[in-house]
Amino acid sequence: MSNQSYADAAASSGPIGAEKIPEPARLQETPNPSGSGNIESVSQKKFDKLKQETEKSRAHLEADVERAKKEAKELEKKAKKEGKKLLELLKQGYADAGKYFAEFSQNVSETTNAALTKTSKELENPVVVIQALAGIGGLVAGYVTYLERHRIRSDSNTVLGIHAAIITGLIGLDAYLFGKYYPKYDKKQF
């Protein structure tokens, strides 16, 4: 086997008429690199100085990393502690909200029961039943009037005055009859 480089062997056995492969770059040591693939050589003293500076930088970085690890552990402990506090606050808030809603629903239930009891007592009075029916009739009449409003439109103040007088008269009559007959048929026991 010969001591030929791979590039030399490849260049010598190429196709006929092929150009030779250029010589590979060779490294040369020089104190002033020129950018043509040369390597700068440094003295042992300068090398030792660079090595010391690198070691100092590495030591500082390691110290910074250790400090960051300690701070991260402290932050983790604080976060766990604050998380526990927050969880306790949420649990207490949930318990308080549950109590509030229980009390609220109890109050609503009691109020509803009282209202239903009072309503059932009031409905035993025929005057109240008639008043309720008159109110429902008024609502139905108002709804029908709303549906037929396009036919009722009038610029005549007389027509509007008659409507207002009828409504006022009916309300007054209702109030008079309710005041006169309600106490007579009231069955509540005080």
Q: Give the residue extent of every domain in the chain.
A: 44-122, 123-184
CA trace torsion 109, 114, 116, 122 (10° rounding): -170
Q: Please tell me the pTM assigned to this model.
A: 0.37
Per-10-residue mean pLDDT of the chain, 190 residues long, equals 65 63 67 59 83 90 91 91 90 90 90 87 81 82 75 70 80 84 71
The residue type of 156 is S
pLDDT digits (tens, 9 = 90+) for 76-93: 999 999 989 999 999 998
Are 89 and 156 spatial neighbours (Cβ–Cβ below 8 Å)?
no
Question: Rounded mean pLDDT of the chain?
Answer: 80
Q: What is the model's pLDDT at position 23?
A: 75
